[in-house]
Chain A
Amino acid sequence: MWKDPIAFYGMRRLLLLLKRIHLWALFLILEGVCLYIFFHSDTYMFSKYLAFSENITGKTDLVKYEVASYLNLKEKNEELMALNAKLLDENNSLKSLVDTTSFNVAQSPYPSVVALHVIRNEFLNSNNFIVLDGGENKNVRKGMAVIGNEGIVGYVSATSKNFSVVISLLSTDNFVSSAKIKGTSFSGTLQWDGRTHNLVQMAEVPKYAELHVGDTILTTSYSSVFPEDIPIGTVEDFRITDDTFYSVNVRTFTDFSKLDYVYLLELNNKLERDSLEMAAGAQKKK
């Protein structure tokens, strides 16, 4: 079979080498594949992946959530009473303003609000995800804004029939939004630095902006996800960077360690706005 003795010895040596290093070769190949998947899993793929695994394990989370909810009924009742009182207060204030304001519920920019329970909540990693117990069955769509009782929480990144995955505001790589200082037109970019779960960072605020500790930070109209004027948090502290901008630490209104239920809403004409912005982006690239 082997007419050429050099080729024969070459092949034999190769087989011996493979026999000697087969364990390391197997390890390096498998390790390489795993690390490639890990470092190249982008947000979209990861969300889809998470939605898939939640379809398998979500039912257990739901049962655990229901048991925990039952055990915490007393606490929940107290929370609801406090919320009720706050709403009554707000209602009274609005009543007194009714003749001077142009706000109209029917003209609200986010008419279809969906309330969902949080069944999985991460807040200790650098890129955190939240899983909700409703998906396409409750008209949840990718890109919807997610808001808690106190302020913004994140946005929907993937949905399955019964579950939705939300990219949390506490996400260093996947969440960037614009934010403004209440009562002014000064805005900046909001992104978490991954350190403390109740402090997010607002950058690129012009240095001539009037800024005070305790100022309220709101969403802006620049976002295609969040409606304008949704509360985010208050200014904790700030400093000048590059002699041009303020870098601001914002204490979030939302306590991410106690998320229980959230509201999902979508801006009117979001699809039209997104397509127009995408088309304009494509034209700009050309």
Chain B
Amino acid sequence: MKFLRYIIYISVLTCIQVFFLQRMWSGFYISVYIAPVLLMDIKTPKWIVLLTGFLCGGIIDVLSAGAGLNAAITGFVALCRFPIIRATVPNNVFEDAGPVLSSTMPIMKFLFYVAIMLLIWSLLFFFVESSFMDPLWSLLSVLFNVVFGTLLITLLQLPIRR
């Protein structure tokens, strides 16, 4: 049942990403589709998190002609998730091994965790995508994605229950 809920959640986020966020902001880009990777249970086996990262990115690549870049970077972010959770999530949440949600931990800690993950994703994505040609524009895109992506992911995780 939890697995099914998870698949529905990924599908909804993918639709939001492809049909609204990808094309609404000319130039700017908000990546909410990485939310399933960020919010998974802490006890989830690492290889499942990794595969979910590649899968989420791969779907976006197929639907928006991303040529593998989304999958590569989201896979890397999934790998970074383990040390970052250890460093940012409070000990009691970590030992509880449940999902990483704003309802299971202090909101500021949650925002910080999401922002750090989005920062890694954005730095890699925007600089590689622009081939390091326009650093100022890439930095602006990173800032935009971190600020608005964190807010959107925080809103989109509200319906999730433990």
Contacts and interface: CB of A to CB of B under 8 A. Distances in A.
Interface of A: 22-23, 26-27, 30-31, 33-38, 41, 46, 49-50, 52-54, 56-57, 60-61, 64, 120-121, 124-126, 172, 194-195, 257
Given A26-B50, A27-B79, A38 B26 contact: no
A205 to B, nearest CB: 24
B65 A50 contact: yes
Interface in B104-124: none
A15 B64 CA distance: 39
A6 B58 CA distance: 43
Nearest to B24: A64
B133 A41 contact: no
B18 A41 contact: no
Given A22-B47, A30-B50, A53 B65 contact: yes
B65 A34 contact: no
B86 interface: no
Given A53-B64, A125-B130, A194-B133, A23 B26 contact: no
B47 A26 contact: yes
B129 interface: yes
A124 B126 CA distance: 11
Contacts of B90: none
Interface of B: 18-19, 23-24, 26-27, 46-47, 50-51, 54, 57-58, 62-65, 67-69, 71-72, 75-76, 79, 129-131, 133-134, 137
A27 B51 CA distance: 9
A30 B19 CA distance: 26
- Mostly, the B contact residues are helix
Contacts of A195: 133-134
B54 A34 contact: yes
Nearest to B137: A124
B137 A30 contact: no
B75 to A, nearest CB: 6
Contacts of A56: 63
Contacts of B47: 22-23, 26
A31 B76 contact: yes
Contacts of B72: 31, 34-35, 38
A111 B72 CA distance: 46
A27, A61, A126 — most chain B CB neighbours (10 Å)? A27
Contacts of A126: 130-131, 133
A22, A30, A31, A53 — most chain B CB neighbours (10 Å)? A30
A112 B54 CA distance: 46
B67 A37 contact: yes
A124 B67 contact: no
Given A23-B50, A61-B23, A194-B133, A30 B65 contact: no
B57 to A, nearest CB: 8
